[in-house]
Amino acid sequence: MSESFSTIERALLNVFRQKGARAGEPVPDSVLREGVVYSGGPGKPETIGTALLDLQFRGVISPAPDPLAATAWVLTQSGDATVYSG
């Protein structure tokens, strides 16, 4: 991850990596949040929510396509390249 990400953004992206999720594979919001808290990251709900929105704005993640499923996020192609770049 060569781009400049905040500590919590890196923690969220690491959860995608730990789960082996590639572009388009959904990771539930609850799994991302628990992963950040478990890793010792700054786990305040509002901080995680803001970081998820920041990553979405930067084009690294997007909401999962199925609106009827529980809230989940997917890596974009750009996010996949960032997370698995080295």
Burial track 2-18 (b if 16+ CB lie within 10 A, e otherwise): eeebeebbbbbbbbbee
User: How does strand 27-28 pair with strand 72-75?
Assistant: antiparallel
The pLDDT assigned to 86 comes to 67
Encode pLDDT of 14-31 as tens digits.
Answer: 999 999 999 999 999 889
Provide the whole-model pTM.
Answer: 0.82
The pLDDT assigned to 2 comes to 53
| Residues comprising the chain, all counted | 86
Q: What are the sequence ranges of the domains in the chain?
A: 7-83
For residue 1 the two structure tokens come to 């991850």
> Any idea which fold 7-83 has?
Arc Repressor Mutant, subunit A (1.10.10)
Give the residues across from 72 on adjacent strands. 28
